[in-house]
Structure 1
Amino acid sequence: MQFSANLGFLWTDRPLPDAIRAAKAAGFDAVECHWPYDTPAEEVLAALNETGLRMLGLNGRRGNVVGGENGLTALVGREEEARAAIDEALAYANHLGTPNVHIMAGFAKGDAARRTYVENLRYASSEAAPLGITILIEPLNKYDAPGYFLSTTGQALAIIEEIGAPNLKLMFDCYHVQLMEGDLSHKLADLLPHIGHIQFASVPDRGAPDHGEVNYAHIFKRIGELGWQTPLGAEYKPMGDTDATLGWLETLR
């Protein structure tokens, strides 16, 4: 298996370019991040070129983080701001050669929110297509993100099928899916044609994948049997120094 270091959680004690270098030194095959916008894209690109790593994905802005927002795409009346965030994310990703952009839904509910979400995703998919970029949507679990608009793979799949854009895919985070639905092996197989990226962390503490209720040796083996070839995203919260948590990188590879 190949693995991508999610620098939204790993090596957060250093600037993004240095975190990229740390991921290379640790033996990761790629990197991904959350919100890189405080770092000039040229500095990130220089670190990627230096290390030979690819930035697999990044997120669009969340909105007013201090006010508790966690995405804009499903928020009624915020369409202009949501699309500006989409444009910014696509431009940054295009500069880096990043193939995936995760567009976050936010805290919302109801039919109007769903219509807003669908229309904004249509816009994102259309704008991303000429750039060769895939738009990702990710269900978040109700424990970490109560009230988040997108919470299950079934809900995400219905929206993906309704929009019908070939570059709109599911971000399958094993951590979130296990907490909400379980049955990871079957769900990975059933949803594979719609999956654009896979992430993981231990359950229930979102730590390194060497403990908890999910047997990642089995899950990674299953993913390999399904023919998946893209690096899997290590999006876990290290308990202490990141380097001290990386024993799994060799034992599970």
Structure 2
Amino acid sequence: MRFSANLGFLWSELPLPDAIRAARAAGFDAVECHWPYAVPATEVKAALEETGLEMLGLNASRGDPAKGEMGFSAVPGREAEARAAIDQALDYAEATGTGKVHVMAGFGGDHDTFVKALGYACGKADGLGKTILIEPINHYDAPGYFLSTTAQAEAILAEVGAENLKIMFDCYHVQLMEGDLSHRLERLLPKIGHIQIAAVPDRGAPDHGEVNFAHIYRHLTALGWAVPLGAEYKPGGPTEPTLGWLKAAQDI
């Protein structure tokens, strides 16, 4: 099994280009990030080329972190901001060779607004050969987040009707909200664009907690999944001491 280091959590104390280098030194197969926009895309691209790693995905702007915002693409009245954030994300993805952009819904949104924003995003992304992701996020960490279940995500995919719109299946969020990871992964696999992992319920390294990730890795391998899994966990301090799981998991 191959793994991608999510640099929103891992090595978050380092400048993004140095975090990319640290991920390579640790043995990760790819990287992904949250909001890279404070770093010039040329610097990120240079670090990716130096290390030979691919940036799998990044998030469109979350908005104002001081206000606790987590996107706004489903929020009525913020349509122009949403389109600008989508444009910014796709431009950055194009400049860094990143294939997937996660469009965040936000709090207090509505279905029609989100569908229209995603239609815009998918249309623009299609011309660039990129995939748009939407992610169900659990209501324990983000009470009131608009998108919270895989069934809701499926309904949105069906309505938008774009081949390049996929689900970001974060095992941590899905286990907290719905459980039954093995069956959900099998049924949803054609609709999934990226898979992420973290321990449940503490969102630590994926080597403890209520999910048997060794089983998940074997199950995904049997299903033919070949894309690196996103290690989006909170190390709770320096990243290196938490990486004992990585080599054993790569050997599965």
**Equivalences for 1:1-253 in 2 at 5 Å?**
1-109=1-109, 113-253=110-250
Distance in 1 (CA, whole Å) between partners of 2:143 and 2:83 is 24
Cα distance, 1:251 vs structure 2: 1.5
1:82 alignment partner AA: A
Cα distance, 1:93 vs structure 2: 0.2
1:67 alignment partner AA: K
The SS at the match of 2:200 is: coil
Deviations 1:217-238 (A, max 9, x none): 0011101110000100000000
Cα distance, 1:239 vs structure 2: 2.5
1:163 alignment partner AA: V
Distance in 1 (CA, whole Å) between partners of 2:146 and 2:108 is 5
Deviations 1:26-76 (A, max 9, x none): 000000000000000000000000000000000000112211211110010
Cα root mean square deviation, aligned: 0.6
Deviations 1:149-178 (A, max 9, x none): 000000000000111100000000000000
Deviations 1:106-139 (A, max 9, x none): 0014xxx211000000000000001011000000
1:182 alignment partner AA: G
Distance in 2 (CA, whole Å) between partners of 1:61 and 1:46 is 22
Gaps of 5+ in 1: none
Distance in 1 (CA, whole Å) between partners of 2:194 and 2:9 is 17
1:68 alignment partner AA: G
Deviations 1:189-244 (A, max 9, x none): 00000000000000000000000000000011101110000100000000221000
Query: TM-score, normalised on structure 2?
Result: 0.98
Distance in 2 (CA, whole Å) between partners of 1:65 and 1:82 is 16
Distance in 2 (CA, whole Å) between partners of 1:25 and 1:42 is 21
Gaps of 5+ in 2: none
Query: TM-score, normalised on structure 1?
Result: 0.98
Deviations 1:80-123 (A, max 9, x none): 001000000000001111110000000014xxx21100000000
After superposing on structure 2, the runs of 4+ consecutive aligned residues of structure 1 that deviate more than 4 Å are none
Distance in 1 (CA, whole Å) between partners of 2:197 and 2:14 is 23
Distance in 2 (CA, whole Å) between partners of 1:8 and 1:67 is 19
1:102 alignment partner AA: H
- Number of aligned positions between the proteins: 250
